[in-house]
Amino acid sequence: MFKYESLKYDSLADLVAIAEKIDMPLSSVVLQEQAETAETTTDAMYQKMAYALEIMRDSVKDGLDPDKRSASGLTGGDAYKMMQPVKEGKNICGKVFGEALTKALAVSETNASMGRIVAAPTAGSCGILPAAILTIAEDRNIPDHDVIMALFTASAVGMVIANNASIAGAEGGCQAECGAASAMAAAAVVEMCGGTPQMCVNACAIALKNILGLVCDPVAGLVEIPCIKRNAAGVGNALVAAEMALAGIESAIPADEVIMAMKKVGDAMSSALKETAEGGLAATPTGKKLCQKVFGCCQ
């Protein structure tokens, strides 16, 4: 029996090494270690993750309502709009991509309209992971078991990012939230599609590289503009990274070094660009006007 005590989630390379040594997917390593650490059974852990998947599915459905609006009234209905051309087979990038965008918008709009979501890793970035895994699972008829297991792989990526950089917009900008979610989703998709542990980590590295430096600049401080559309962009990025990794493309910069770079970029970012609603899109004339509209004064 392999001992998992040494696993600290501070290195994706270490995780890959363990998985390769015992010839198991990343998700099995993570599930075993987490159950041991929490002194519970793997089945209890698995069931809890199965519940998260169920809530994710519900949060997609809830977000497809054309009439649902956010509490502020600023957003809503975009997932429904996105779904129309996809249903008719008219969207330009094909069914899988169109459905992924629809789902990401749906979950994100569910969040903005006070619906129930699973933070993954945060509420602001909650659309990316469900959109990626549910779209690919449906398209390729992947059984729920594999999807649930892939969520453990996604969690491991999230834990390493949280431990070595950040998953909070206020600390690292949007790269920490939508970037982390995108990297988690990319790794999960690769595992679901039969990729190796190293390919999962390559996908994580590629996804993070593509979103490095993205600022967190929510209009009026609300988790709506631009967050909802950035969830759509985030799932697009996750699929881009997963496609490349599954094709055998490697990341020139190893994932662990990309995460270190992400940390340094986040630290170097001005606080105006880290969730304070003082910079970026929040500080545009229209951003300020929308803030005025919701709150009667500019924050």
Contact residues: other proteins, CB under 8 A: 9, 30, 34, 37-38, 45, 48-49, 51-52, 55, 70-72, 74, 110-121, 123-124, 126, 129, 151-152, 154-156, 158-159, 162-163, 167, 184, 220-224, 294-295, 297, 299
Of 37 and 284, nearer to other proteins (C-beta) is 37
CB of 34 to other proteins, least distance (A): 5
CB of 241 to other proteins, least distance (A): 18
Of 56 and 244, nearer to other proteins (C-beta) is 56
CA dist 273 and 266 (Å) reads: 10
CB of 179 to other proteins, least distance (A): 14
CB of 156 to other proteins, least distance (A): 8
Q: To which H or E segment does residue 268 belong? A: helix 255-268
Q: 124 - beta bridge partners?
A: none
Of 84 and 292, nearer to other proteins (C-beta) is 292
Of 54 and 139, nearer to other proteins (C-beta) is 54
Of 163 and 272, nearer to other proteins (C-beta) is 163
Q: CB 271: neighbour CB atoms within 10 A?
A: 10
CB of 83 to other proteins, least distance (A): 20
CB of 50 to other proteins, least distance (A): 11
Of 86 and 225, nearer to other proteins (C-beta) is 225
CA dist 188 and 132 (Å) reads: 8
202-217 per-residue burial string, b: 16 or more CB within 10 A, e: under 16:
bbbbbbbbbbeebbbb
Total residues found in the chain within this entry:
299
CB of 69 to other proteins, least distance (A): 11
Phi, psi of 178, rounded to the nearest 5 degrees: -70, -30
3-state SS, residue 88: coil
Q: Pull the structure tokens for residue 93.
A: 């990038």
CA dist 145 and 212 (Å) reads: 32
Of 57 and 95, nearer to other proteins (C-beta) is 57
Residue 291's Cβ-side half-sphere holds a number of Cα atoms within 13 Å equal to: 20
Q: Pull the structure tokens for residue 283.
A: 């500080």
Q: 82 - beta bridge partners?
A: none
